[in-house]
Amino acid sequence: MKQKVGVLGCGLMGAGIVEVCIKSGHPTVVREVNQQFLDRGLKRIDDSMDRAMQKGKLTQAERDAARGRLSATTDFEPLAECDIIVEAITEDRVAKADLWKQVAKVARPGSLRATNTSSIPLSSLAPHSGDPTRFIGLHFMNPVPVMKLVEIVRGIESTDAAIAEGQAFVEGLGKTTILAKDTPGFVINVLLVPYLCEAVRLLEHGVATKEDIDKGMKLGCGMPMGPIELLDFVGVDTTLAIADVLFDEFGDAKYAAPPLLRRMVESGFMGKKCGRGFYDYGGGK
């Protein structure tokens, strides 16, 4: 019997996590703050599974079975039945901590609690989770259905058993893991985000066009996407939030967000998910 999973948040990352869970046979409940966000997230999941079907990677029967495992809610109560709860809301320390306080009221004793944070220290969230010994980081990569890696983060109080359960769970989703300590940005983002910010600095200083920066890293270094394109893909706001956490925590200028990145977020150009970032995807904001 597969564990029942609860996913908090059905945005870019939450929807991807839900999709891989239901495709791997886990009964899953996804929670959003309101019906509008829920509907948008469910559409994202449906569209992604439809694309996989068109590409012959999923049969109609598999799709329907996966969809049948999914329930959606705006309440907290259904999380009481979950063996594993994965939080994947916006990269905001206060919002995440507040959410975990709510979840802690209903979560079953012994359930595994995980945050998909990409940079926020677990120690600022774990005390609110109801059980810091069962609290770990499961950092999925975007797009979740495609990227093979999940970074597992060990909080100060996470037990070996919790880490082992997290690892077995994500391996069951077809992912490979790396293990990181609870330091800001863990492994992936402490490497990736300064690289993305450096690309914005090149653009800001007029060293090259965004197209040439991207072409340079794709054709010159074999990256699947150039840094500016990747920044739009990950989310301009998400990248800024991570850069700010790294700078706040380390106080090192190499992590300082370039002004242009902040101006983009202030202007509402959050990247591909909202139709416009550094590139225009033909959408509004």
* Binding-site ranges for ligand CAA (CB under 6 A): 48, 51, 55, 57, 118, 141-143, 145-147, 188-189, 192, 224-225, 230, 234
Shortest reach from residue 85's CB to ligand CAA, in Å: 19
Burial 246-260 (b: 16+ CB within 10 A, else e): bbebeeeeebbbbee
CA dist 38 and 170 (Å) reads 24
| Catalytic pick among 139, 157, 165, 229 | 139
For ligand CAA, give the closer residue by CB, 163 or 230.
Answer: 230
Shortest reach from residue 105's CB to ligand CAA, in Å: 28
| Catalytic pick among 111, 118, 119, 129 | 118
Q: How far is CA 226 from CA 184, 222, 258, in A?
A: 24, 9, 18
CA dist 96 and 14 (Å) reads 14
Shortest reach from residue 65's CB to ligand CAA, in Å: 18
Burial 111-145 (b: 16+ CB within 10 A, else e): bbbbbbbbbbbbebbbbbbbbbebbbbbbbbbebb
Q: Is 189 a catalytic residue?
A: yes
Give the number of C-alpha atoms closer than 13 A to the C-alpha of residue 117, restricted to the C-beta side. Answer: 35
| Catalytic pick among 32, 87, 91, 151 | 151
For ligand CAA, give the closer residue by CB, 51 or 181.
Answer: 51
For ligand CAA, give the closer residue by CB, 83 or 91.
Answer: 91
Shortest reach from residue 189's CB to ligand CAA, in Å: 5
| Cβ-closest position to ligand CAA | 118
CA dist 240 and 166 (Å) reads 28
For ligand CAA, give the closer residue by CB, 5 or 196.
Answer: 196
For ligand CAA, give the closer residue by CB, 146 or 168.
Answer: 146
Q: Is 151 a catalytic residue?
A: yes
CA-nearest of 159, 220, 149 to 187 is 149
| Cβ within 8 Å of residue 264, ≥6 positions away | 236, 270, 277, 278
Shortest reach from residue 108's CB to ligand CAA, in Å: 28
- In this structure, are residues 196 and 210 in contact, taking their beta carbons and an 8 Å threshold? no
- Strand pairing class (149-154; 135-140): antiparallel
Shortest reach from residue 110's CB to ligand CAA, in Å: 28
For ligand CAA, give the closer residue by CB, 55 or 285.
Answer: 55
Neighbouring CB atoms inside 10 A of 162's CB total 22
Q: From the centroid of its chain, how far is CA 124? A: 18
Q: Which amino acid is at 180?
A: A
Residues marked active site are found at: 118, 139, 151, 189
